[in-house]
A and B are shown apart, each in its own frame.
Chain A
Amino acid sequence: MGADDTYARLLEGRSGIGKMKYLKSKHTDFPVGEVPFSDDELRDILFIKKDASITRTSLLGATALREALASAGLFPRDKSWKLALVSGITVGGMEKSEQYYYDFLHTRKRDEYIALHDCGACTDMIGQAYPFGFDMLTTISTACSSAANAIILGANMLKMNRTDIVVVGGTECLSKFHFDGFNSLMILDTKPCRPFDKNRNGLTLGEGAAYLVMEREETARQRGISPLCQLSGYGNRCDAYHQTASSPDGEGAYQSMMEALAMAGLQPSDIDYINAHGTGTPNNDESEGHAMMRVFGDQMPPVSSTKSYTGHTTSAAGGVEAAISILALIRGFIPANLNFSEKIDSLNFTPVTEVKQGVELHHILTNSFAFGGNDSSCIFSKIS
């Protein structure tokens, strides 16, 4: 948890994937990427009362949000600047609803969780955990690309002067619903996920939350804040191929990367590192790999999927991976892709298998794709 801890773990090659501890599924043979804190421990961290009704999705979100706001000088905040929150959430309060569903229908117990079930209610709880308040809230729900799309909406709001500062990202906790859902699609690996490996056999479901604070350059200057980096380009495209599968040539992914590059005014050769979506499912990695080959040809920049550390944090993934990309950019390292051993036949590249330190990075591309072909890409660049 936190930027420094994440940095240390990425350097050591220490993955957070392991046995289930808090998720109460009977399918214990699958590993998961759990946040190593119970609900009560998270409540303590946040100074929330033990008996307060709150979903784990909101607890994770509020914890990440607090770190993001504090490091951006918004704890407390100057109310003369408008502040908005855009959060990506998909199954929201389901982890509690699946426990209390019988009560919802047949008893008068646990009624308070009915109102906390939906995605918007989870964002609302996260917003309430910030004592200085937001001027606007909304929730994006595009499954595994939710947080990336939150970044995109936030950027458009800033460009149109509809807010001065915007907090963007996503949160999702593990639930039986989500876990069993992925299992019903038979895309969970019984081993920790092996992105871009020939013998990969599915993803590892994770949980998490991450938020970025974005503002226009002049706002940061006036607030006396030195920004970490610049969001130089972004793209959102739809694969429009199948309800769950990605197209063999990765058309949506290709278009979203090209759109991001065009907006940034960059050539493919300007990209120094790609933090790939790389879930470890046979379909995603092949499709994404082909899309990357279409963009970068035989000049493939270093590639890794950090889902081998975190598992697939679904709605949070775009935020978690943006945060890792920004860490890599400002601290000059390329995280490794764990669990790789053999190249995929049809691809012309292999991922980075050892962490590389002391490298000068200028532009990082990160991909977030989702069911239904909701493909988004963001480019983070060093401030010149």
Chain B
Amino acid sequence: MSIYIQSVSHISIQKPLSEEWMESPVVPDSSFMKSQEPDYKLFISPMEARRMGTLVKRALATSLDTLRKGGCEMPDAIISGTGLGCVEHTEKFLNTLIDNDEECLPPTSFMQSTHNTISSQIALRLKCHGYNSTYSHCGTSFDSALFDAFLQLSLGKIRTALVGAHDEMTPDYFLMLSKLDFWKTHFYDLEQLRRGEESVSISGSCSLSRRLSAEKQESTLCELKDMEMFYRPGILQSQHAINDILLRNNLSIKDIDAVVMGLSGDRDNDDVYYELRDRAFKNTPVLWYKQMFGESFGASSFGVYVGAECLRAGRIPQHLFFFPEEAEKFQKEPRNILVYNHFHDKDHSIILLTK
């Protein structure tokens, strides 16, 4: 059974519902970057939108857009990854609870704070009775959602799946994470992120929907060949996992044209990737994406998107190379791309994409 990524739509720091970032990416100018919003009226009526927070609107817009692109009306499954759900509504309910001493609380905010509201409101809009689920597992929420779809497509239980990653950053949550040294220093330019000497990653909101299916189409981006998730592996086990996934797909490390890594500029995060680079990917070009899409619980979805889009386009734009000298040398049409993601060196994932 082959599994294909048919279409992807996103709302992020970059131009929404567009691939313009391939040619001319928006360069962040602060560590708290806001998303660019599309015109939601094109997707949602005001009556429908009355209870929706920003995140649900984004999720619906990207879902409807990605289904339309591939001409699919009804997916067999809707699966989302969201680390924190609708933070806006959660904060509203929590603040009211504290300020009003548990009186006169807004029911809408409670309802919208449950993480599964995203997948279920997509289903409600599509009238989709198919499989519906939501993963909330920190920085591998999306990877988990993709894994679920991958398993069910492989088992033949479903033929199509809408898989999304949806997370938002609010000023209060940004402040709290700052206290945990997530954004220690003021951001000034990309070179600072590249050096990774400090702790400066860009925070982003993300909403990305993609459609997977068992049938190849003209619009297909690439094949989702295989994936694996593992916990606290240590470098040796990571290497084993990479070798395993290559071996069972009859590939060797030489066949991998590029590896997409979640390098963000935060030293603690990046060290794991540097070590992997030294041990496993010495001669493989490294691509990065968090400088464009920011760091968030759903950021890894952009890693898969960037890899898939390069395979579709048959080329890798220079700005994606983490080491500028690799960009100059790279000339070929990519055929196989590995996406490696980890969260706090606890949860790791490897995703293999092929043309």
Contacts and interface: CB of A to CB of B under 8 A. Distances in A.
A58 B141 CA distance: 18
Interface stretch (A6-14, A132-140, A209-217): A132-140
Interface in A176-222: 176-177, 180-186
A141 interface: yes
Interface in A89-109: 89-90, 92, 94, 97-98, 101-102, 104-105, 108
A160 B155 contact: yes
Most central of B110, B157, B175 by chain A CB within 10 Å: B110
Instruction: Kindly state the interface size class of chain A when it binds its partner.
Output: 35 or more
Contacts of B105: 180-181, 183-184
A237 B176 contact: no
A242 B127 CA distance: 10
Contacts of B128: 238, 240
Contacts of B329: none
A176 B177 contact: no
A25 B98 CA distance: 11
A175 to B, nearest CB: 10
A242 B179 CA distance: 39
B121 interface: yes
A97 B94 contact: yes
B141 A120 contact: yes
B222 interface: no
A372 interface: yes
Contacts of A177: 93-94, 97
B119 A372 contact: yes
A160 B151 contact: yes
A373 B116 CA distance: 10
Interface stretch (B77-85, B206-214, B307-315): B77-85
Contact of A142 (B111, B133, B141, B346): B133
Contact of B180 (A90, A105, A115, A133): A115
Interface in A143-194: 143, 149, 153, 156-157, 159-160, 162, 176-177, 180-186
Most central of A92, A108, A136, A371 by chain B CB within 10 Å: A136
A315 to B, nearest CB: 10
Given A111-B180, A149-B133, A176-B97, A105 B155 contact: no
B113 A114 contact: no
Contacts of B51: 243
Most central of A121, A127, A184, A186 by chain B CB within 10 Å: A184
12 contacts: A26-B102, A89-B136, A115-B180, A138-B135, A142-B116, A142-B133, A156-B152, A181-B110, A236-B131, A238-B120, A255-B129, A371-B116
Interface of B: 51, 78, 82-85, 93-95, 97-98, 101-102, 105-107, 110-111, 113-117, 119-121, 123-124, 126-141, 144, 147-148, 151-152, 154-155, 157, 172, 175-177, 179-180, 228-232, 297, 346-347
Given A101-B94, A118-B83, A153-B133, 17 more contacts: A101-B95, A124-B138, A137-B137, A138-B135, A141-B115, A180-B102, A183-B105, A184-B106, A186-B107, A236-B131, A237-B129, A237-B130, A238-B129, A238-B131, A238-B132, A241-B124, A243-B117
What 5 pairs across the A-B complex have the smallest Cβ distances? A372-B120, A120-B138, A181-B110, A141-B136, A238-B132
